[in-house]
Amino acid sequence: MRGQGLGGVTRWAIALVAAATLFVGTALAAAPETARVGDLRGSATLRSGRQTSRVGSSTSFKAGDLLSVASGGSLTVRLADGATVRISGPAELSFLQLDSSGNRVMLRSGTISRADVGGVALEIQAPGKNSLVLQSASASASVAGSRVTFTKSGGDYAKLYVDGKAKNLASTWSNAPAAKPRPKPAPRPAVKPRPTPKPRPAVRPAAKPKPAPVSAVPASNEEARVGTLTGTGTRQRGTQTARVSPQTRFRQGDCVRLMAGARMMVVFQDSSSISVVGPAELCFLQLAPQGRRILLRSGVINEAYTRGTAMEIQTPYDASLILQNATGFARVAPGDKVSFQKLDGDLAQVWHKGKTINLVGGWTLNVRTGSSSGGDAPAGGRQRAGADGGSIEVGSQRVAYTPAGSFQVETTSTGGVILTYVGDDIGVVDVGTDAVFFLAPGESVELGADGNVLSFTGIVHNNDPVGGSSLYDEPVGDVSDVSTSKPGRR
pLDDT in tens, 248-257: 999 998 999 9
pLDDT tens profile 80-93:
889 999 999 999 99
Neighbour count for residue 27 (Cβ, 10 Å): 21
Is the bond preceding residue 197 a cis peptide, omega within 30 degrees? no
Q: Which pLDDT belongs to residue 198?
A: 64
* Lowest mean pLDDT, pick from 161-175, 194-208, 238-252, 418-432: 194-208
The full 3-state SS of 176-203, as one line of letters, equals CCCCCCCCCCCCCCCCCCCCCCCCCCCC
pLDDT bucket at 46, cuts 50 / 70 / 90: very high
Residue range 260-303, pLDDT digits in tens: 989 999 998 888 899 999 999 999 998 887 789 999 999 999 89
- Identity at 226, one-letter amino acid code: V
pLDDT for the residue numbered 375:
64
Please give the pLDDT value at position 186. 67
How many Cβ atoms sit within 10 Å of the Cβ of residue 128? 20
Kindly state the average pLDDT of the residues 25-43: 74
- Residue 431: the pLDDT is 80
The distance from CA 319 to its chain's CA centroid, rounded to whole angstroms, is 11
pLDDT at 64: 92
Phi, psi of 458 (to 5 degrees): 140, -145
Query: What average pLDDT does this structure show over 180-203?
Result: 63
The string of pLDDT tens digits covering residues 101-157 is 889 999 999 999 999 998 888 999 998 788 999 988 999 999 988 889 999 998 888
Read off the amino acid at residue 197: P
Band of pLDDT at residue 95, cut at 50, 70 and 90: very high
**The most confident of 218-222, 299-303, 343-347, 400-404, by mean pLDDT:** 299-303
Q: Over the chain, what is the mean pLDDT? A: 78
What is the per-residue pLDDT for 387?
A: 45
pLDDT band of residue 30 (cuts 50, 70, 90) is: low
Question: What value does the mean pLDDT take over residues 361-387?
Answer: 63
Pairing state between β 240-243 and 435-439:
unpaired
Q: State how far the Cα of 431 lies from the Cα of 413, in Å rounded to an integer.
A: 21
Residue 293, strand partner residues: 286, 312
* pLDDT higher than threshold 50 for residue 393: yes
291-305/311-314 β-pairing: parallel
Domains of the chain (ranges, CATH numbers): 12-174 (2.60.120.1440), 224-374 (2.60.120.1440), 390-481 (no CATH)
